[in-house]
Chains A and B, each alone.
Chain A
Amino acid sequence: MNYYIITEEVFDTLTKENISYMLKNLDDTQRLIATTDMVSNRVRKFNNIDTCSNYTFTNHSDWVGDGTGVETWEIEEIEYISEVDD
């Protein structure tokens, strides 16, 4: 699995069936994703799920409104559904 932060514009070009997790940032300009695809046009790439999660805790004001972050289980368990998670 690959973990990225990408822009909304790049997200729109990706194959949604390969995305297992997606979270919009609070100002709705970027997406944190887990995907089986390799994405070259990205804002940030993470080596693994733990570094991805840790980044959101450090930068929580961009991603989560309660001062915490995105936990690893959330990335594993909250599936992206392209039909409803626009």
Chain B
Amino acid sequence: MSNIVINPYSFITSVSFADSNAISKSITTGTAQAIYFTDSADTFNFIESEAWTISFWVKAGWSSSLNTNIHFIIGQEPSTAYQLSDLIRIYYNESNNRLYTTYGNKTTSSNAKQKQVFWLFHANYGTYATAYAASGLGTTYWSAANRGNVGDNNFTMITLTKATADAASSLKIYWNAATLGTPTTSKNETLAVGMSATQNRLWSLGSNGVHTGNDQIKVGNSAETVYNDLSIWNVELTSGEVSELYNSGTRLDAETHSAESNLIGYWKFESDGSATVSSHDFTIAGDSNIASV
């Protein structure tokens, strides 16, 4: 049964829906386990001067002893010799309990062409205190055993927004409906070679990319990590619009969101990797699968 509420940000009626399923990324590494699509329509080829938003729900399945990085979502140039070419990504650095996001076009190990910021979760002081409070993780690292503040079914909504300015300061992340605050800038380098508007980026969920020559697809041990309701927008959602999307923790049908006209990609993962909005469906490989929430 749908739960109908009046959207405070518009006259559109927001609707939650019977969210029965999500997508589970296999704990096994390797390209054969990936969840991905190639953006052959160039729908999501954001460049450094554009605004955008990527939002998804995640139920942590990894162990606190993983000691590596877990890529939640990444869009990158495929079949390239260097892994940071023409990419947008968000990943959890489990070794240091930080959430990172990067965009840029770093094509060799030595050039400098990217923006990267991070939020640290376990330090309740200074600029880190906002993320500490928003995540609810306390002083323990994020893992299947400590999911912090969650919505329905133990999922956390993570929303990454970018303003139009080409600067590290344009990046924001929300944990559910709460901002993580001012990030720490890790890289704020000039994009000497800009991001491509025509590159058919390869987008992967739950791994660090299907990458020719670098078969480093990893999601982590312990248990499968589950993703749900991925949406991509061609605008920087405001804090109010993120709160609207969070919908007090109950998955909202993004097509009923007040910014729906800016919704350019939407995957509910109810039965397979098919898109509700976009011409691209996710391929779900190997032991990765649709699972009940």
A26–B68 alpha-carbon span in the complex (Å): 11
Whether the Cβ atoms of A73 and B218 lie closer than 8 Å is no
Q: A68-B216, A71-B216 are in contact. Are A77 and B67 (CB under 8 A)?
A: no
What residues of chain A lie closer than 8 Å to B84, measured between beta carbons? 73, 77
Smallest beta-carbon distance A27→chain B, Å: 10
A76–B146 alpha-carbon span in the complex (Å): 28
Q: A64-B68, A78-B93, A85-B96 are in contact. Are A72 and B109 (CB under 8 A)?
A: yes
Whether the Cβ atoms of A65 and B116 lie closer than 8 Å is no
Whether the Cβ atoms of B128 and A66 lie closer than 8 Å is no
DSSP majority for the A interface?
loop
What residues of chain A lie closer than 8 Å to B66, measured between beta carbons? 64-66
Q: A68-B29, A73-B84 are in contact. Are A84 and B67 (CB under 8 A)?
A: no
Q: A72-B109, A73-B84, A76-B109 are in contact. Are A65 and B29 (CB under 8 A)?
A: no
Q: Does B135 contact A (CB under 8 A)?
A: no
The total number of A-B Cβ pairs within 8 Å is 62
Smallest Cβ-Cβ distance to B214: which chain A residue: A71
What residues of chain B lie closer than 8 Å to A73, measured between beta carbons? 83-84, 109
Whether the Cβ atoms of A23 and B95 lie closer than 8 Å is yes
Interface residue tally on A, bucketed by range:
20 to 34
Most buried by A among B67, B84, B109, B187: B67
Whether the Cβ atoms of B96 and A78 lie closer than 8 Å is yes
Q: Does B220 contact A (CB under 8 A)?
A: yes
What residues of chain B lie closer than 8 Å to A63, measured between beta carbons? 67
Q: Does B221 contact A (CB under 8 A)?
A: yes
Whether the Cβ atoms of A65 and B109 lie closer than 8 Å is no
Smallest Cβ-Cβ distance to A71: which chain B residue: B216
Whether the Cβ atoms of B123 and A74 lie closer than 8 Å is no
Q: Does B65 contact A (CB under 8 A)?
A: yes
Smallest Cβ-Cβ distance to B128: which chain A residue: A84
What residues of chain B lie closer than 8 Å to A71, measured between beta carbons? 83, 214, 216
A65–B116 alpha-carbon span in the complex (Å): 25
Q: Does B156 contact A (CB under 8 A)?
A: no
Q: A65-B65, A71-B216, A77-B187 are in contact. Are A49 and B95 (CB under 8 A)?
A: no
14 CB < 8 A contacts A-B? A23-B67, A26-B67, A65-B65, A65-B68, A66-B219, A66-B220, A67-B29, A68-B216, A71-B214, A74-B69, A77-B84, A77-B100, A79-B186, A84-B123
- Residues in B lying within 8 Å of A, measured CB to CB: 27, 29, 63, 65-69, 83-84, 93, 95-96, 100, 102, 109, 116, 120, 122-123, 128, 186-187, 214, 216, 218-221
